[in-house]
Every structure is written in C-alpha cells, then in structure tokens.
Structure 1
Amino acid sequence: MKNILLFGAGKSATSLIDYLLTNAPRQKWHVTVADHDLALVKSKIGKSYYATATSFDIKEQDARQQLIQETDLVISLLPPPLHIFVAKDCLQFKKNLLTASYIDPAVKALQKEIEDAGILFLYEMGLDPGIDHMSAMKLIHSIEKKGGQIFSFKSYCGGLISPENNDNPWQYKVTWNARNIVLAGNSGAIFKEKGKVKEVAYDQLFDHNKTIQIPGLGKLAYYPNRDSMGYMESYNLHDLSTFMRATLRFPDFCEGWNALIKLGLTDDSKKIDTTQLTYNNWAGQHVDTHESSPEENMAQYLGVSSKSKVIRQLKYLGLFNTEIINLGEQTNAGILQNLVEQKLKMEPTDKDMVVMMHELEFERRNMATRMHSYMICLGDDNVHTAMAKTVGLPLGIMAKLLLQEKITLKGLHIPILPEIYNPVLKELEEYDIRFEESFE
C-alpha cells in the first residue's frame, strides 16, 4: 500500500482530502493528514479506514522528518513560508513533493539538487497558479501547432461569492486564506501592454480598475497580479506585445479596498497595542477630526460623500464602532484580517464561485482572431467550496498519476507540459471544471 502525506487541513484541503479518500480503496493508498489543529483534521477525514490524523509543529524537525521518511508522496498546503522545511526534507529523503504555492527563491536555489536526486517537485499545482497554467498552455500549444502567431495574452482569475449569495456591500466573502486576501497585491504589479512594460504601485492597484465581460455574469473588475513578466518565459511567449495575469473581483470590492489601502489599514509592517484601542480610532488614525461625525471625517479624507457606497462598506466592516479591539499587539493588517473573517464570512448555505478567463489575440493565415476561453465553477456550500475544488482536485489527480507511475517527470516544475495538463484537465471535466471557448 502506498502512503500519501498531506501537510495542512485548512479551507483549501477539503476537496483534496475527499478525492484522496474516495480513491483510496481502488488505488490502495493510505493518507496521513498533518496539521497543528487535530480536531480540524479529524473533521476532514471522518472515520475513514484509509486516513490517519496527526497533530504536530512543522518546525519540530524530528517529527516532521519521521513522517516524510515513511511516505511515498508529500503534498503541502502549508502557508508558503513553511514549505521550505518540507522541501529540504523531501530532498534529503528523495520524496516527490506537490504544492499549490508559487515557486519561491529558496526552493529555486535547490533546483539542481532536486534534478540530481531524481525526484519531482511540482509547484503551482492549484487554481491560480495551477489550472490557469494548464488551460493556458493547452490553448497556446494548440494555436502554435496550427501555425498561429500569438501577440496578446491576458489571463484573469478570481475567487468570488456566487451571485445568489452576493448580499453585502463589499460583494465579497472569504472563501480561502483571509491573510492572503488582506495582503493581496502589496508588492504591486508588473506586466506588459502594447509593447511597454508597466509597473503599478500597491497604492494605485485598486484605483479605477478596468472591467471585462464574463458570459452569464456581466462585468467584473480586474487588477494586475504580481509579476506577470516571469511567465512570458515559462509560456515561451517572449515577444508578445501584451502579457498580463490579473485577479477578478466584483467592481464594488475594488473601490472599497482602495479606501482601506488609503487609510493604511492593510499595512503589515509594525505592531500596535490594541488593548485600549477602539475600531473607530484605529480606522481614523490618519484622519483629521474637523467634521461632526466619524463618517463625515472619513468621507472628507477619502474624497467621497458621507452617504457613498464606500462609507457604507466601511461601516459594514465596523470601522466606526466604539468597542475596544483588544487583540493584543497586532499590525493594521492583522486587525483588518480579524474583521474580514468576522464580517465577510460565508454562511453555512452560501456558495462561492471561481471564475477564470483567458483572452488571446493571434494571427493565422493573415487573419486576426481574438479568442476567449472561460470557466465558472460553483461551490456546494461553505465547506465544499469552488475554491477547495479548484485548488485541491488538481493536486489529487496529479498525486494519482504519480503513484500510478503514469507521469515520470523529474526536477522542479510548474504544470505547463502536455504530459501534466492533458490528463489533469481531462479528469477535472468529470467534476464540472471545464472551459468554454468563443472567437471574434
């Protein structure tokens, strides 16, 4: 019997665990799920004969290494800074490693050692990054194989609340790691548009966002995502005039989040004492108090009406409340994360939604064509979410392909090769994760 070791049992792990346990009897494998929260792990695996729950501190080397030594395949859904502990042990004990996180400089430095060890480290094998890479490369390779020359590539993805449960002024609810939501975009963005490299600073990222039309949904806003330029080489699209990867949101969210950035409430650089600090005073720490009410002071600072949608959004989060925060020492981002988790949480019957779209412009036989390829995936409830499906299922499918020895790739990779994307995308369709295409 093969053994799979999964680190992390958070929001994104649900569908992955379900997939591994559903396939366990036929595939003859056993799954060990390790997390600091043992009760959480037990809630995810139930009473399955094919699963073991364990609780531990990832930084406890002996316990971590013993788990890794005893397994055949490691999957990590830990917070990104913790992957390197697992990666170094996988390298030492020659174990294949799968994760949904971006390749970071620390693991990049191990690339030659990974190759020499004859093992596979597959990073960016989730949704975004993950399904975006696979679906994009399938399109790119298909166009190139037919003699098409691509000159513009744009890719958009967003984890959103479904329209039927879109019932708050933010048009947003938390469907994955709230800390990542709060810190999203804080490094700004770099992309290429009409032949020019463009850099957008964090304080401008959510300001006056553009929109795209999604079939069946209408207009969604987008903001450029991280450093798009590095993927031009990965996708072998060096000479494109336009190349951008972007995040999707409902338009109201971007307007409200831009206000939070202007107020300094997403800053994670220094801690403040919240034991006697009210939410009202915290939110207005940079705001002058000229007017008669906190709402009017805030509106004046932001340059909006006191009856505007933005002020309603801030009020919904509780930024004008006079209760004490009392979270000990926290950064502004930490306080905001706590509020977001409380105020924008999914209710038990809520469904989330993942939307992805690729927009490619290419020329073939002297004919210019614009192609749209889009995917909309709905969650089942607030546990079996679309986010959990689209992050977890690619990892589960890849784990099965590796343990069946249908993929024998070695080295450090992301999922841009046909031997990965063809079988994974094919099986994802069985879970209603599929793309529709249109041409102009």
Structure 2
Amino acid sequence: MKNILLFGAGKSATSLIDYLLTNAPRQKWHLTVADHDLALIKSKIGKSYYATASDLDIKDQDARQQLIRDTDLVISLLPPPLHIFVAKDCIQYKKNLLTASYIDPEVKKLEKEINDAGILFLYEMGLDPGIDHMSAMKLIHSIEKKGGQIFSFKSYCGGLISPDHADNPWQYKVSWNARNIVLAGSSGAVYKEKGKVKEVAYDQLFDHSKTILIPGIGKLAYYPNRDSLTYMEAYELQDLATFMRATLRFPDFCEGWNALVKLGLTDDVKQFETNELTYNNWASQHVDVKDNATEENIAQFLGVSSKSKVIRQLKFLGLFNTEIINLGRQTNAGILQYLVENKLKMEPADKDMVVMVHELEFERRNMATRMHSYMIVQGEDNVHTAMAKTVGLPLGIMAKLLLQEKISLTGLHIPILPEIYNPVLKELEEFDISFEESFE
C-alpha cells in the first residue's frame, strides 16, 4: 500500500482530501493528514479507514521527519513560509513534493539538491498558480503547432462570491486563506504592455483597476498580479509586446480595498498593542483628528462623500466601532485579517465562484485573431467551494499520476509541460472544470 502525507487541512484541502479518499480503495493508498488542528482534520477525513489524523506542530522536527520518512509522497498546503521545513526534509529522505504555492527564493536555492536527489518538486500546482499555467500552455502550444505567432497574452483569475450570494457592500466573501487576501498585491506589480514594461506600486494598484466583460456574469475589475515578466521565459514568450497576469474582483471590492490601502490598514510590518485601542482609533491613525474620527473625517481624508459606497463598506467591516480591539500585539494587516475573516465570512449556504480567462492575440496565415478562453466554476456551499475544488483537484490528480508511475519527471518544476497538463486537464473535465473558447 502506498502512503500519501498531506500537510495542512485548511479551506483549500477539502476537495483534495475527498479525491484522495475516494480513490484510496481502488488505488490502494493510505492518507495521513497533518495539521495543528486535530478537530479540523477529523471533520475533513470523517471515519475513513484509509485516513489517519496527525496532530502536528510543523516546527517539531522529529515528528515532522518521522512522518515524511514513512511516506511515499508529500503534499503541502501549509502557509508559504512553512514549506521550506517540509522541502528540506523531502530532499533528505528523497520524497516527491507537490504544492499549490509559488516557487520562492528559498526553494529555488535548493534546485541542485533536488536534482541530485532524483526527486520531483512540483510547485504552483493549484488554481492560480496551477490551472492557469496548464490551460495557458495548452493554448500556446496548440497555436504555435498550427503555425500561429502570438503577440499578446493576458490571463485573469479570481476567487469570487457567486453573484446570487454577493449580499454585502464589498461583493466579496472569504473562500480561501484570509491572510493571502489581505496581503495580495502588497509587492506591487510588473507587466508588459505594447512593448513597454509597466510597474505599479501597491498604493496605486487598485487605482488602476480596469474591467473585462465575462459572459453570463458581466463586468469584473482586474489589477495586475505580482511580477508577470517572470513567466515570459517559462511560457517561452520572451518577445511578446504584451504579457500580463491579473486578478479578478467585482468592481466594488477594488474601490473599497483602495480605501483600506490609503488608510494604511494593510501594512504588515509595524506591530503595536491593541488591548486598549478601539477600531475607530485604529482606522483613523493617519487621519488628522484629535478624538474618535467620524465618517465625515475619514470620507474627507479619502476624498469621497460620507454617504458613499466606500464609507458603507468601511462601516460594514466595523471600522467606526468604538469597542476595544483586544487582539494583543498585531500589525495593521493582522487586525484587518481578523475583520475580513469575521465580517466577510461565507455562511453555510453561500456559494463561491472561480473565474479564469485567457486572452491571446496571434497571427496565422496573415490573419489576426483574438481568442478568449473562459472557465467558470461554481461552489456547492461554504465547505465544498469552487476554490477548494480548483486548488485541490490538480494536486490530487497529479498525486495519482505519480503513484501510478505514469510521470517520471524529476527536478524543480511548475506545470507547464504537456506530460503534466494533458492528463490533468483531461481529468479535471470530469469535475466540470473546463474551458470554452471564442474567437474574434
């Protein structure tokens, strides 16, 4: 019997665990789920004969290494800064590692050791990054195989609340890690447009939001995502005039988040004591007032009307409350994360939605063509979400392919190779995760 070890039982793990346990009897494998929250693990694995719960402090080296030593394959859904603990142990014990997180500089330094160990580290194997890479590369390779020359590539993705459940002024609810939501875009963005490299600072990122029309949904706002240019080489599109990866949100969200950035409430550097600090005083720390700031004070600081949608959004989060925060030492981002998790949480019957769009412009036989490729996935409830489905299933399918020895790839990779994306995308279609294409 093969053994699979999964680190992390959070929001994105639900569909992955379901997939692995559904396949376990036929594939003859056993799943161990390790997390600091034993009750959370048990809620995900139930009473399955093919699963074991492991109450683990990830920094407990002895316990962590024993789990890794005794398994055949490791999957990590830990917060990104914690992957490195698992990665180094996987090298030591020569275990393949799958994760949905971005390749970070620390693991990049381990590339030679990964190669020397003859193992596979497959990063960015979730939704975005993950399905975006696989579906984009399938399109790119198909166009190039037919003799087409690509000159513009734009890719958009967003985890959103379904329009029927967007019942708050933010038009947003949390379907994945709230900390990632709070810190999204904090390093600014870089992309290429019409031959020019564009750099957008964080404090301007949401000012620059534009819109794209999604069939059946309407207009969604987008803002550039991280450093798009790093993927031009990976996609072998170094000479493109336009290359951008972007995040999708409902327009109201971008407008409200821009206000939070201007108020300085997303900073994650400076810590301070919150046990005697009110939400109102916290929210107005950069506003020139002697006492508690009013809605009018903050509206004036932001340059909006006190009756505007933005002020309603801030009020919905509780920024004008005079109650004590009482969260100990925190950063602004830490406090905001707490509010987002509690004020923008999904209710049991809420459904989320994942939207992905690729927009390619290319020329073939002297004919210019614009292609749109759309994917829209709907969640079932606040546990079986579209986000969990699209993050977890690619990992599960890849785990199966590896354990069946259908893929013999080694080294540090992201899923841009046909031997990865063809079988994974094909099986994803069985779960209604597929793309529709249109041409202009």
What TM-score comes out, normalization by structure 1 length?
Answer: 0.99
Q: Which amino acid aligns with 1:405?
A: E
**Which consecutive residues of structure 1, in runs of 5 or more, have no partner in the other structure?**
none
> Matches of 1:147 and 1:290 in 2, distance apart?
67
- Cα offset, 1:354, TM superposition: 0.3
2-structure distance, mates of 1:209, 1:410: 39
Offset of 1:289 from its aligned partner? 2.9
Deviations 1:305-335 (A, max 9, x none): 0000100100010101111111111101000
Residue identity matched to 1:342: N
Q: Aligned residue for 1:17? A: 17
Partner of 2:234: 234
- Aligned-pair distance for 1:346? 0.2
In the TM superposition, residue 181 of structure 1 has moved relative to its aligned partner by: 0.3
Aligned to 1:216: 216
Q: How does 1:133-152 map to 2 (within 5 A)?
A: 133-152=133-152
**Deviation string, structure 1 residues 255-297 (Cα, Å, up to 9, x no partner):** 0000000000001111111111111111011112389961000
Measure the CA separation in 2 of the matches of 1:91 and 1:194: 42
Matches within 5 A, 1:295-314: 295-314=295-314
Provide the rounded CA distance (Å) in 2 between the counterparts of 1:171 and 1:290: 33
1:21-420 alignment to 2 at 5 Å?
Answer: 21-289=21-289, 294-420=294-420
Task: Give the whole-Å Cα distance in 2 for the aligned partners of 1:299 and 1:14.
Answer: 41
Task: Give the length in aligned residue pairs.
Answer: 440
| Equivalent AA in structure 1 for residue 256 of structure 2 | G
Confirm or deny: 8 A CA contact 1:101 1:123 kept in the other structure. Answer: yes
Give the fraction of aligned pairs with identical amino acids, expressed as a percent.
Answer: 87
Deviations, residues 51-97 of structure 1 (Å, cap 9, x unaligned):
00001111111111110010000000000011011011100111000
Secondary structure of residue in 2 paired with 1:320: coil
Question: Which whole-Å CA distance do the structure 2 matches of 1:115 and 1:239 have between them?
Answer: 29
Distance 1:326 1:50, change over 3 A: same
Contact persistence 2:74–2:98 (CA under 8 A): yes
1:139-178 Cα shifts (integer Å, max 9, x gaps) = 0000000000000000000000001101100010001000
> In structure 1, how many angstroms separate the alpha carbons of the residues matched to 2:59 and 2:400?
28
8 Å contact from structure 2 (residues 280, 292) kept in 1: no
CA offset at residue 116 of structure 1? 1.6
Question: SS state of the match for residue 306, structure 1?
Answer: coil
Q: How far is 1:419 from its partner?
A: 0.4
Preserved CA contact (<8 Å) 1:290 1:297: no
Q: Deviations over 1:79-135 (max 9, x none)?
A: 001101101110011100000000011111111211121110000000000000000
Does the CA contact (< 8 Å) of 2:14 and 2:392 recur in 1?
A: yes
| 5+ long unaligned stretches in structure 2 | none
8 Å contact from structure 2 (residues 160, 354) kept in 1: yes
Letter in 1 for 2:76: S
Q: Distance in 2 between matches of 1:233 and 1:384?
A: 35
> 1 CA distance for matches of 2:277 and 2:193?
45
Aligned partner of 1:429: which letter? Answer: E
How far is 1:373 from its partner?
Answer: 0.2
Residues 149, 364 of structure 2: 8 Å contact kept: yes
SS at match of 1:207: helix
In the alignment, the residues of structure 1 paired with residue 65 and residue 326 of structure 2 have an alpha-carbon distance, to the nearest angstrom, of: 38
